[in-house]
Each structure stands twice: as structure tokens, then as C-alpha cells.
Amino acid sequence: MGRVNEEVEAENGTVLKYQHHANGRGFVSPKARVQASTFVAATAYIEADARIGDNGTIGSGSWIDQGVVLGERVFIGQNVHIGRDTIVGNDVRLGSHSRIGTNVRIAGGMRIDADAQVADATVLGTPRESAMPVKRPAARVSSYVSDKAA
């Protein structure tokens, strides 16, 4: 089956091109890598240079920004935004309507509740250099706002 291309005009007037992912029909940049076993809902967007691991789920209306890395078995609820260059470990669950800032690190096994907001450059769990942090016991985060000055 051939890929269907969609063109979307960005706010700055540039035209972005997306392809439908074979599993779920979500919109995926040709420069992103998404494993075939991951389900991408039809209204989800995955931007350039994102890397999405095996057996995950990306809910409808969710937006995975440029350079994001998602580990294996990651569940993304509906209408979630994950900011640029964020790294999410294996077995993480992000509740619907969550907003994850840019350059955030979320260790494997974490659970982020629905409607949570995580500030830019936040580290949740044990910081690691690896893009796929070691699996850890589940921890829950309802909301986290950094006390760093903007």
C-alpha cells in the first residue's frame, strides 16, 4: 500500500508534509522514525526527527514535537503535547490533555496524570544519558512546575 501525503501550512507560512502511518493513520513527518507496531491515532501528529519505539500508543489529537524520543510501550493519551527534544523512557504513561515542556526527561515507568503540566527542562526520575532510561517502579505525577526562573 502506498503512502498518502498531506500538506499542512504552518503559522509562519511554510508548508509541512506528512505521511499517514500504516498503523492508525496518524500524520508522521517523513523525517521521523516510528516503529510499525506503534499505534498512531488518525488525528495525531509526529514531527521531524522524532523517534518512537515499539508497541506504543499515541492518542488522537496528540502532538509529538521535533526531536522527541519515546521508548517502548509508551502510552500517550488524547490531546497531549510533548515539547521539542524531550526524552521519554520505556513503559511511561502520559494522561490525556497533558502538556510536557521542551527538553524534559521522563524516566521509564513513570505515570503522568491527565491534565498535568511539566515545565521545560524538568527531569522526572533518575537522570540518565541513555535515550531509553532503565525501567523503574511506577511513580505518579499530577503536576510539576519548575521553580527555575524563566
For the chain, report the end-to-end CA distance as a whole number of angstroms.
48
Average the pLDDT over 84-110 and give the result: 96
Average the pLDDT over 98-117 and give the result: 96
Average the pLDDT over 122-133 and give the result: 63
Q: Please, which residues have CB within 8 angstroms of residue 50's CB and are 6 or more apart in sequence? A: 29, 32, 33, 34, 64, 65, 66, 67, 68, 69, 70
The pLDDT of residue 6 is 77
Domain range annotation of the chain: 5-141
- Please state which of the four CATH numbers 2.160.10.10, 3.40.50.620, 3.40.50.300, 3.40.30.10 is assigned to the domain occupying 5-141: 2.160.10.10
pTM of the model: 0.79
For residues 89 and 56, what is the distance between their CA atoms, to the nearest angstrom? 12
